[in-house]
Amino acid sequence: MASSHAPPFFILGPLIFFLLLLLQFSSIALSASLHPPATISPTKAPTAPSPSTSLHPPTTISPTKAPTAPRPSTSPSPASSPTPAKPSPSTPTPTPTPTSASSLNPKQVRALQSLNIPTGKNPCSPLHNSTMICDSSKPFRNLISLTLANCSDDVALSLTALKTLSTLTTFKFIDCPISPIRFPSELTSNLHSFTCINSLKKLTGVWLSRLLNVTDLTVSHVTVIASGPAIILGSLKNLRSVSISHTNLTGFLPKHWHPNLTHLDLSGNQLRGKIPSSLNVMENLLVLNLSSNSLDGEIPPGIGDLTSLQNLSLASNSLSGSIPDSIAAMPDLVHLDLGSNLLNGTVPKFVSDMTKLKYLNLENNSFHGVLPFNASFLKKLEVFKIGSNDNLCYNHSSFAVKVKMGIAPCDKHGLPMSPPPAKDSSLESSSDSSDDNDNSDDNASHNRDHHGGTSKVVLGVAIGLSSIVFLIIFLVLLSKCCK
Ligand SMILES: *[C@@H]1O[C@H](CO)[C@@H](O)[C@H](O)[C@H]1NC(C)=O
Ligand SMILES: *[C@@H]1O[C@H](CO)[C@@H](O)[C@H](O)[C@H]1NC(C)=O
Ligand SMILES: *[C@@H]1O[C@H](CO)[C@@H](O)[C@H](O)[C@H]1NC(C)=O
Ligand SMILES: *[C@@H]1O[C@H](CO)[C@@H](O)[C@H](O)[C@H]1NC(C)=O
Ligand SMILES: *[C@@H]1O[C@H](CO)[C@@H](O)[C@H](O)[C@H]1NC(C)=O
Ligand SMILES: *[C@@H]1O[C@H](CO)[C@@H](O)[C@H](O)[C@H]1NC(C)=O
Ligand SMILES: *[C@@H]1O[C@H](CO)[C@@H](O)[C@H](O)[C@H]1NC(C)=O
Ligand SMILES: *[C@@H]1O[C@H](CO)[C@@H](O)[C@H](O)[C@H]1NC(C)=O
Ligand SMILES: *[C@@H]1O[C@H](CO)[C@@H](O)[C@H](O)[C@H]1NC(C)=O
Ligand SMILES: *[C@@H]1O[C@H](CO)[C@@H](O)[C@H](O)[C@H]1NC(C)=O
Ligand SMILES: *[C@@H]1O[C@H](CO)[C@@H](O)[C@H](O)[C@H]1NC(C)=O
Ligand SMILES: *[C@@H]1O[C@H](CO)[C@@H](O)[C@H](O)[C@H]1NC(C)=O
């Protein structure tokens, strides 16, 4: 027993020792192949999860968004259309009585028909969207809002029809290039809102100045012949919001302004002369747009009195001088566009203290000196344009994050380095290439991980397999030797 036990034991001793040795060896080999992945796997794990988390939310968001977004957008319209559609079939019994009782005034129906405006069965129904809105008067409802859009050529305004429609308070013409006629006073005294976009062929200042009671006036992409905006703005005493843009309106800006104006847009005209400092009376103004005219002179310091102003555009004029310090006193400014003028001086530092600013355009002027902004200020802007200011430069050391400026970096003396485009492109390309490097590093490291990982696993498996083969041969040899 002992003799039969002893030899195997004797043989087994070194065998186990050998086996352990082999195991250790293979475990070292494996650890060599596994440990790097283990040390990589933490780095990989964050990189892999971070892409997966950064990828998953988008994928989870986009599907959730996609269904939610289309659903609301698709469901409201079918929902809203079925709901009006459903109530009308489901509640036809209760509604007919009110609808028949409060349908549109037959005179107004005839007036609309005489203007070749399709009325359908019930012009007051919400199915007409907002093109026709009626009041709730009895026995017949009256139109209070009418939008003529895309009118056909056979639509022609007539005085009697417009008299009949004098209950309108809102009248809009959109893409309706029909001939204008003089509006009857019954209508103009009621009108509070008048819109004419690419319509009515041609208007005059006198024609518009008859809309005595309007609070909202929008005229754009239609020629307006007038000696200047004053004839319109001076006559319409109740104006709150006025946009006369892209009308080729000529003349000078008025000297007198409505203190109650909240929106003033005279962009895209041929206005010339200086910006009068008297505009400082419009302390309720939220939007001032005088862009794309031929205004010259300096920006009046009084502009700083417009303390409610949120959007200011004086872009694309011929304004000169420097940015007035008073602009610092506009705490609510969100949108500041002074691009494409002849402004000079330095860019004031206070601009970066305007906490609500989102849009800043100072491009294509003659500013000089060092741009007084830092990267954290530029980061919170949605739009920043500063290019085409040949004597302006930015402090390289102020921008840890590289930003595309369109201006040259400064030299030691605060002057632009000589070849701005080359420097700029090299800056851009360097930032781009660094991004690329980052990406390629990621990909390379991923690839390296993959390649390294697989090659090490292969190595481990090979060592393991060969050691097993070696062991088998050894065992066979041993068993042969012992027998
Ligand atoms: C009315 O609204 C619906 C959906 O909102 C739209 O598809 C349709 O073009 C509108 N009709 C007019 C005349 O504006
Ligand atoms: C006007 O007509 C054009 C095509 O003729 C169409 O694309 C556009 O949506 C229409 N606009 C309105 C407001 O109906
Ligand atoms: C303007 O509207 C008011 C009522 O809102 C009216 O009393 C007044 O007569 C109108 N003014 C003109 C000039 O039509
Ligand atoms: C304004 O004038 C220009 C040039 O004369 C012309 O091309 C444009 O159609 C005019 N625009 C309007 C709305 O009258
Ligand atoms: C401005 O509005 C106020 C109240 O909204 C009104 O009392 C005042 O008369 C208006 N001023 C002018 C010049 O229309
Ligand atoms: C001013 O008007 C122009 C052209 O009409 C427009 O492109 C721009 O967005 C407007 N800016 C502001 C601040 O309203
Ligand atoms: C800026 O322009 C104004 C008017 O064009 C000129 O008088 C002034 O000297 C200029 N200032 C600088 C610093 O160039
Ligand atoms: C004011 O400026 C902001 C930011 O650029 C813009 O989103 C908004 O549409 C502008 N509002 C008007 C009335 O132009
Ligand atoms: C730059 O401003 C000038 C007027 O100051 C204008 O004529 C030119 O078209 C502008 N250039 C660009 C690229 O906006
Ligand atoms: C950047 O500029 C803003 C405004 O001048 C300032 O409040 C902020 O502290 C500056 N940030 C850095 C990092 O210098
Ligand atoms: C650029 O910024 C650094 C540090 O913010 C400052 O020391 C240096 O004087 C600045 N250079 C110029 C030309 O303003
Ligand atoms: C890195 O790999 C991803 C996916 O394999 C690819 O979309 C991306 O373009 C690659 N980036 C670079 C810089 O090769």
pLDDT of res. 475: 78
- Range of the structural domain that residue 402 is part of: 202-418
Sign, Cα dihedral of 465, 466, 471, 473: positive
φ, ψ for residue 140 (rounded to 5)?
A: -120, 145
Among the bound ligands, name the one nearest to the CA of residue 51: 12
Question: How many Å lie between the centroid of ligand 4 and the Cα of residue 248?
Answer: 6
Residues 39-48 have a mean pLDDT of 36
Residues 397-402 have a mean pLDDT of 70
pLDDT of res. 472: 77
Q: With 60 as the cut, is the pLDDT of residue 84 above it?
A: no
Assigned domain for 308 exists: yes
pLDDT of res. 114: 86
Residues 338-359 have a mean pLDDT of 96
One domain for residues 267 and 327: yes
Question: pLDDT band for position 246 (50/70/90)?
Answer: very high
Residue with CA nearest ligand 7 atom 3? 321
3 state DSSP class of 42 = helix
Q: With 90 as the cut, is the pLDDT of residue 322 above it?
A: yes
**What ligand 1 atom has the least distance to the C-alpha of 129?**
1
pLDDT of res. 218: 98
Residue with CA nearest ligand 1 atom 8? 129
The number of beta carbons lying within 10 Å of the beta carbon of residue 164 is 23
One domain for residues 236 and 168: no
Q: Alpha-carbon distance 227 to 432, whole Å?
A: 53
Question: How many Å lie between the centroid of ligand 6 and the Cα of residue 245?
Answer: 9
One domain for residues 294 and 390: yes
Among the bound ligands, name the one nearest to the CA of residue 245: 6
One domain for residues 220 and 163: no
Question: How many Å lie between the centroid of ligand 12 and the Cα of residue 307?
Answer: 50
pLDDT of res. 202: 93
One domain for residues 283 and 141: no
Read off the tokens for 323. Answer: 């940015």
One domain for residues 216 and 313: yes
Question: pLDDT band for position 38 (50/70/90)?
Answer: very low
Number of domains in the chain: 2
Least confident of 67-81, 103-117, 129-143, 294-308: 67-81
One domain for residues 314 and 207: yes
Q: Alpha-carbon distance 253 to 230, whole Å?
A: 7
Assigned domain for 463 exists: no
3 state DSSP class of 68 = helix
* CB 189 near ligand 3, within 6 Å: yes
Among the bound ligands, name the one nearest to the CA of residue 234: 5
pLDDT of res. 13: 53
Question: How many Å lie between the centroid of ligand 2 and the Cα of residue 174?
Answer: 10
One domain for residues 280 and 386: yes
* CB 335 near ligand 6, within 6 Å: yes
Reported as a single tens digit per residue, the pLDDT across 169-221 is 999 999 999 999 999 999 999 999 999 999 998 999 999 999 999 999 999 99
Question: How many Å lie between the centroid of ligand 7 and the Cα of residue 343?
Answer: 8
* CB 245 near ligand 6, within 6 Å: yes
One domain for residues 179 and 218: no
Q: H-helix or E-strand containing 360?
A: strand 359-361
Read off the tokens for 179. Answer: 């001939």
One domain for residues 240 and 345: yes
Domain boundary among 198, 222, 247: 198
**What ligand 12 atom has the least distance to the C-alpha of 436?**
13
pLDDT of res. 286: 98
Residue with CA nearest ligand 4 atom 14? 223
Q: Are 252 and 272 in contact (CB under 8 A)?
A: yes
3 state DSSP class of 100 = helix
- What percentage of the chain reaches a pLDDT higher than 90? 49
Q: Using a 6 Å CB cutoff, which residues line ligand 9? A: 340-342, 364
Question: How many Å lie between the centroid of ligand 8 and the Cα of residue 468?
Answer: 75
Domain boundary among 198, 216, 250: 198
* Mean residue pLDDT across the chain: 76
Assigned domain for 402 exists: yes
Residues 386-409 have a mean pLDDT of 83
pLDDT of res. 152: 81
DSSP string, 159-211: HHHHHHTTT-SEEEEES--PPP-PPPHHHHHH--EEEEES-SSEEEHHHHHT-
Least confident of 329-338, 399-408, 438-447: 438-447
pLDDT of res. 33: 44
Assigned domain for 469 exists: no
Q: H-helix or E-strand containing 457?
A: helix 420-482
* CB 106 near ligand 5, within 6 Å: no
Residue with CA nearest ligand 4 atom 6? 248
Residues 220-231 have a mean pLDDT of 97
Assigned domain for 51 exists: no
Determine if residue 256 is left, alpha or beta; phi over 0 gives left, psi from -120 to 50 gives alpha, anything else beta: beta
pLDDT of res. 446: 35
Q: Using a 6 Å CB cutoff, which residues line ligand 1? A: 77, 129, 131
Among the bound ligands, name the one nearest to the CA of residue 317: 9
Assigned domain for 322 exists: yes
pTM of the predicted protein model: 0.71
Q: Which amino acid is at 250?
A: T
Report the CATH number at residue 383. Answer: 3.80.10.10
Domain boundary among 372, 401, 418: 418
Is 39 or 414 the better-scoring residue by pLDDT?
A: 414
Mutate which of 260, 281, 283, 308 for ligand 5 pocket (most atoms within 8 A of beta carbon)? 260
Question: How many Å lie between the centroid of ligand 5 and the Cα of residue 169?
Answer: 20
Assigned domain for 179 exists: yes
Q: With 90 as the cut, is the pLDDT of residue 245 above it?
A: yes
One domain for residues 259 and 395: yes
Question: How many Å lie between the centroid of ligand 1 and the Cα of residue 223?
Answer: 29
Question: How many Å lie between the centroid of ligand 1 and the Cα of residue 118?
Answer: 15
One domain for residues 346 and 380: yes
pLDDT of res. 12: 52
pLDDT of res. 116: 82
Assigned domain for 81 exists: no
* CB 335 near ligand 8, within 6 Å: yes
Among the bound ligands, name the one nearest to the CA of residue 447: 12
Residue with CA nearest ligand 10 atom 5? 352
Question: How many Å lie between the centroid of ligand 5 and the Cα of residue 259?
Answer: 8
